[in-house]
Amino acid sequence: ISAPNIHHSTVMFRSPGPEDAELTAVIGATVPTGFEQTAAEEVQEKLGSASRISRDRGKIYFQVPAQRLPQVHRLRSVDNLFVVVQEFKYYEFKENKEDALKDLEDLVKKLCWTDPLKVWELNNSLKKKKTKRKKHNLQSTASRERMNDGGEEGGADQSNTNDQEDCAQNLEAVAGGQNTEKPQGVASRDGVEQEADNEQSDVKGEVQASSESGTKAGDGQTGEGEPKVLRFRVTCNRAGDKHSFTSNEAARDFGGAVQEHFQWKADMTNFDVEVLLNIHNNEVVVGIALTEESLHRRNITHFGPTTLRSTLAYGMLRLCDPQPTDIIVDPMCGTGAIPIEGATEWPYCYHIAGDNSPQAVKRAANNICSLLRKNESKDSGLGVPLDIIQWDICNLPLRTGSVDIVVTDMPFGKRMGSKKKNWDLYPACLMEMGRICTPGTGRAVLLTQDKKCFAKALSRVGHIWRRAQTVWVNVGGLHAAVYLLRRTWERAEERRSW
């Protein structure tokens, strides 16, 4: 899209003022598919706002005062946030491609952008404050470390890395006396790393309207006192097979109209504003992104071949309704996403994580150390009620009936383990989980994509486990299920190899 001889309009950045107290925003949030109701319950519980679940799976909408944006960002079940400019529940697309795209172009001028842009500005000012606090905390931590080391010069990053390795070694030492050999047929899995959770029919297109200017985002101030010219990009998420256009075409033409309307500069990478165009069949939602990266990355710094998203881990934990003093075990913890999320959100429970893989235990230990350091930077001074150990999932070093909840991500047989091994592994796991869980009140929440194998295994242990609920989820394009199981009163057989 060429835009010759354009005089760019400008936007003055400002600090939040009294006028923002009256500003309300309709917030859109993407959440793990299948856990929309869980996210809606969290919003009601923590913000007091009712949510509407979108027909497009994996999204909810709720209204809040703009001043409550900090609390919105602290929600545990949401991946990405955006402020809604306008929503069209029954948008009529023309059959002809050119006409349909022309209608999208014309839509830009009809939308009311003023309040959503105010919300975006307010959100931006909050992010800047957070960044300043983070830098200050990092500098303070680095200063303390230099003082503790007798003034020795060494970057904070290097010190952090050494701390992580030392901490991992210390936590692994807890496993002393346990069998450190990898048992046959036992694998760990923790979801799918860094993959989008859209339905397979979703198509994502992004557009950069071509601009004659090649300046970077930091060059917005062309002279002293001159306001900054905003840079933008348009991202289109489209689902449905009855559209005459592609996502790229919709983003391109809608982006061209946005550029013409606001006179902003287009930039695919160093952008200030990300305009979202979400199209799901005949539903259209226009929004402005409030998150630069997904909130599900909040806890994990050391990733493995498979890493479960923190938002999905939260949904699984919430499903089993943890109560104070509950003992919660993740016997196949991988990089520790579930127990770390549990210890963060349910600090009055005791969390035990374990895995048969020494590499997984080390990564999880490093992630725990990162969490401890983050808590230290907030001057909370509190540890986390979480321990990690290397063990054999089929022979856990835990007393019979001593555990309240088991939550784990079982191997799918894709990236970790194999479908063939799962036929032996799953029944053995369920038996051992049944042994350690408290009869009558114990529960388990288990994620797997190998649904056929799991159903067969569950039928073999039906005397100790009853299926209470199934939540169908999408994990990186794989259709998986989260099963809530309840422990029966039936006595489980004792099983010991030593």
Distance CA 52, CA 49 (A): 10
Question: What's the pTM?
Answer: 0.75
Instruction: Specify whether the CB–CB gap between 131 and 78 falls below 8 A.
Output: no
Comparing 326-330, 411-415, 477-481, 485-489, the range with the smallest average pLDDT is 411-415
More confident residue, 489 or 20: 489
Q: Which residues contact 316 (CB under 8 A, 6 or more apart)?
A: 338, 407, 445, 447, 482
Residue 193 above 80 pLDDT? no
Nearest to 343 by CA among 303, 374, 377: 374
Separation CA 231–CA 337 (nearest Å): 35
pLDDT of residue 127: 72
Name the most confidently modeled range: 129-143, 327-341, 361-375.
327-341
| Radius of gyration, CA atoms only, the chain | 25
The per-residue pLDDT of the chain, averaged, comes to: 78
Average pLDDT over residues 400-408: 97
168-180 mean pLDDT: 39
Q: Which of 45-49, 178-182, 291-295 has the lowest mean pLDDT?
A: 178-182
Max mean pLDDT range (126-130, 382-386, 466-470) = 466-470
The reported pLDDT for the residue numbered 224 is: 52
Residue 495 scores a pLDDT above 80: no
CA gap 119, 27 in Å, rounded: 10
Query: Is residue 484 over pLDDT 60?
Result: yes
CA distance 210 to 497: 68
At 125 the pLDDT is 87
Which of 497, 122, 190 is closest to 355 using CA atoms? 190
Q: Does the pLDDT of residue 317 top 70, yes or no?
A: yes
pLDDT of residue 264 exceeding 80: yes
Q: Which pLDDT score is estimated for 303? A: 55
User: What pLDDT is attached to residue 37?
Assistant: 94
Min mean pLDDT across 165-179, 414-428, 458-472, 478-492 is at: 165-179
Spatial distance between the Cα atoms of 165 and 344, rounded to a whole number of angstroms: 22
Of 222 and 231, the one with more pLDDT: 231
Taking CA atoms, 443 is separated from 78, 137, 281, 319, 327, in Å, by: 25, 40, 39, 10, 11
Rounded Cα distance, 220 and 267, in Å:
12
Confidence of residue 432 (pLDDT cuts 50, 70, 90): very high
Q: Under a CB-based contact definition with an 8 Å cutoff, are residues 254 and 104 in contact? A: yes
Asked if residue 349 lies in contact with residue 355, where contact means CB atoms within 8 angstroms, the answer is: no
CA-CA distance, 407 to 129, in Å (whole number)?
A: 36
> C-alpha distances in angstroms, 431 versus 92, 237, 403, 445?
54, 43, 14, 14
Closest among 386, 406, 415, 395 to 482, alpha carbons compared: 406
Quote the pLDDT of residue 378. Answer: 66
Q: Is the pLDDT of residue 321 over 70?
A: yes
With a cut of 70, say whether residue 82 has pLDDT above it.
Answer: yes
Q: Are 94 and 100 in contact (CB under 8 A)?
A: yes
Look at strands 465-475 and 386-390 and give their pairing.
unpaired
The larger pLDDT score, comparing residue 496 to residue 228, is at: 228
Whether the CB-CB separation of 371 and 402 falls below 8 Å is answered with no
**Rounded mean pLDDT, 186-196:** 36
* pLDDT at residue 9, rounded to an integer: 39
What's the pLDDT score for residue 166? 44
CB burial string 83-113: b at 16+ within 10 A, e below = bbbebeeeeebeeeeeebbeebbebbeeeeb
Q: Which of 71-80, 111-120, 178-187 has the lowest mean pLDDT?
A: 178-187
**CA-based nearest residue to 104, from 250, 262, 264:** 250
Looking at per-residue pLDDT, the higher value among 371 and 162 belongs to 371
**For residue 498, is pLDDT > 80?**
no
User: If we measure between CA atoms, which residue out of 396, 310, 411, 404 comes closest to residue 351?
Assistant: 404
Q: Is the per-residue pLDDT at 8 higher than 80?
A: no
Query: Which whole number is the average pLDDT over 286-291?
Result: 96
- The better pLDDT of the pair 464, 183 is held by 464
**% of the chain surpassing 90 pLDDT:** 57
Contact 403, 329 (CB under 8 A): yes
Q: Which structure tokens are listed for 256?
A: 């061209």
Q: Which of 133-142, 406-415, 461-470 has the highest mean pLDDT?
A: 461-470
Confidence of residue 153 (pLDDT cuts 50, 70, 90): very low
Confidence tier at 64 by pLDDT (50, 70, 90): very high
Handedness of CA 184, 189, 193, 197 (dihedral sign): positive
d(CA 483, CA 459): 14
Pair 430, 453: CB distance under 8 Å = no
pLDDT for residue 381: 57
Q: What is the rounded average pLDDT of the residues 94-111?
A: 95
Q: 23 is written with which tokens? A: 């500003």
The pLDDT assigned to 286 comes to 97
Mean pLDDT lowest for which of 168-172, 268-272, 325-329, 401-405? 168-172
Q: What confidence score (pLDDT) does residue 301 get?
A: 62
Residue 411 confidence (pLDDT): 87
